[in-house]
Amino acid sequence: MRIVFYVLVGGLSAVVTFALSFIILKLSLRFRLYPKIRERDVHTRPTPRLGGVAMFLGVLVAFGVASQLDRFHLVFVNPEPVLGLLAAALLIVLIGVADDIWDLDWLTKLAGQMIAAGLLVWQGIQLTTLPIGGVTIVPPVTGLVLTVIAVVLVMNAVNFIDGLDGLVAGVALLANGVFFIYTYILSNGMGESEYFNLASLITVALAGACLGFLPLNWHPARLFMGDAGALLVGLLMAASAISVTGQVDPAALESGRQLLPAFIPILLPFAVLIVPLLDFALAVVRRLRAGKSPFSADRQHLHHRLLDMGHSHFHAVLIFYAWTAVVAIGTLLFMFVPWGWALAFVAAGFTLSAWFTLAPLTKRKVLEASVQLARPGSDASIDARLDPLDEAANESILDDGRPLRPRHHSKEPS
């Protein structure tokens, strides 16, 4: 019945987040607390961006209730990590809200993110071990630097993909679900009380907040989480991964198979964030090559490219979900099933996800070939109308006037 307590905490986080999201939505519409449509935006109407406030309060209430439950008493025996986490979360939410309202410069946001990461380290949430030659104890100064880099990296990676309705909330829900399973099973054999630890509590509270926010954020979104929500999600996911590193006992890892759990705390966060991290890396390289700040906004993120390929908003979001699920679940399976089965799952998942991702290009080539056969003398005209980035291609490609791909409306990253 241990899982019931986590369901209670996660469910409470979801209910509180949903209720407060609805209230914030009404207040934002009443007092016009939303920015104007920008040139790079792809949504068509002004939409409030303060959903991250509701998510933070949902997580805060979940922690408050957990602190009153005897099962979680070990989490709060040493209150410094919890207080440091909540203080960092509050700071990052305030920075996010300020950015959503006043559009802060990237240097100010980066400084605030580093301070928030520093708060985690100051209160004891930092990398202490790494899977190098077994399990290596990380020197405090090195752990501080690596922790700050990891937290800032994850926060910005999550924020970069916050460009489609329901994308971040859904990806985080999947990722935290997988990571909760890992932290819960990792505690098996450590004693009854060890099932209730900080990493699992962070994960389930955040998953509940994402679940409660998703109904108002699903396409067409009525409320965005904004930078406050996206940065909060990244901060909490990074903190849960970092806090679990201290649970691996080097003396217990005698074989290669037993060594694998030491790698999972490092691999799994990158696995569940593989798409955001890839998008982040591509954006940084792209902007630096153009002589711009790596934090300057543009409309060339992966989700924009999926829409330009011909995917609908719904399909683009599902693609992100699919890649996240395949990589995260596949990484976790290596701990619990024979490696051959885990590899088979990953291979099958990659194949299906890749096919789904590239399907519009295949369809476009088939349609292009069909039209060329029907009109052999109009190749140039056909090529122009089949340009995926040309809006005229949406109007009429086939003789019966059917559009090649539907129009899409979605939100742009905060």
Whether residue 172 is contained in a domain is answered as yes
The tens digit of pLDDT for each residue in 398-411 reads 444 444 444 444 44
Average pLDDT over residues 11-19: 98
Higher pLDDT, 123 or 262: 123
Q: What is the DSSP letter of 138?
A: P
Q: Please tell me the predicted confidence (pLDDT) of residue 401.
A: 44
Tell me the residue range of the domain where 22 lies: 2-357
The tens digit of pLDDT for each residue in 167-186 reads 999 999 999 998 898 888 77
Higher pLDDT, 93 or 249: 93
Burial (CB < 10 A; 0-12, 13-18, 19+), residue 62, is buried
Whether residue 414 is contained in a domain is answered as no
The tens digit of pLDDT for each residue in 357-384 reads 998 887 777 676 677 766 655 554 445 4
CB 213 within 8 A of CB 229: yes
Whether residue 254 is contained in a domain is answered as yes
Q: Please tell me the predicted confidence (pLDDT) of residue 246.
A: 56
Q: If you average pLDDT over every residue of the chain, what do you get?
A: 81
The tens digit of pLDDT for each residue in 303-346 reads 878 888 889 889 999 999 999 999 989 988 887 788 899 999 99
H or E, element range at 130: strand 129-130
Whether residue 289 is contained in a domain is answered as yes
Q: Which of 34-38, 97-101, 252-256 is the most confident on average?
A: 97-101
Average pLDDT over residues 292-306: 79
CB 126 within 8 A of CB 150: no
Q: In percent, how much of the chain has pLDDT > 90?
A: 45
- Residue 155 dihedral angles phi and psi, to the nearest 5°: -60, -45
Q: Dig out the tokens for 408 from the structure.
A: 């899409």
Q: Dig out the tokens for 338 from the structure.
A: 């024979």
Neighbours of 392 (CB within 10 A): 10
The tens digit of pLDDT for each residue in 200-217 reads 999 999 999 999 999 999
Q: Dig out the tokens for 109 from the structure.
A: 């946001």
Whether residue 400 is contained in a domain is answered as no
Confidence band (pLDDT; 50, 70, 90) for 192?
A: very low
Average pLDDT over residues 226-248: 87
pLDDT for 68 beyond 90? yes
Whether residue 264 is contained in a domain is answered as yes
Higher pLDDT, 242 or 193: 242
Whether residue 340 is contained in a domain is answered as yes
Whether residue 207 is contained in a domain is answered as yes
SS (H, E, C) 327-385: HHHHHHHHHHCCHHHHHHHHHHHHHHHHHHHHHHHHHHHHHHHHHHHHCCCCHHHHHHH
**Peptide bond before residue 220 is cis, with ω within 30 degrees of 0:** yes
Q: What is the DSSP letter of 160?
A: H
Q: Please tell me the predicted confidence (pLDDT) of residue 299.
A: 75
Report CA-CA distances (Å) from 95 to 37, 98, 101, 194, 249: 21, 5, 10, 34, 37
Higher pLDDT, 324 or 44: 324
Q: Dig out the tokens for 237 from the structure.
A: 């996911």
Q: What is the DSSP string of 182-223?
A: HHHHHTTTS-GGGGS-HHHHHHHHHHHHHHHHHHHHSSSPS-
Q: Coil, helix or strand for 69?
A: coil
CB 238 within 8 A of CB 151: yes
Q: Please tell me the predicted confidence (pLDDT) of residue 215.
A: 96
Count of residues in the chain: 414
Number of structural domains in the chain: 1
Q: Please tell me the predicted confidence (pLDDT) of residue 168.
A: 94
Average pLDDT over residues 288-314: 82
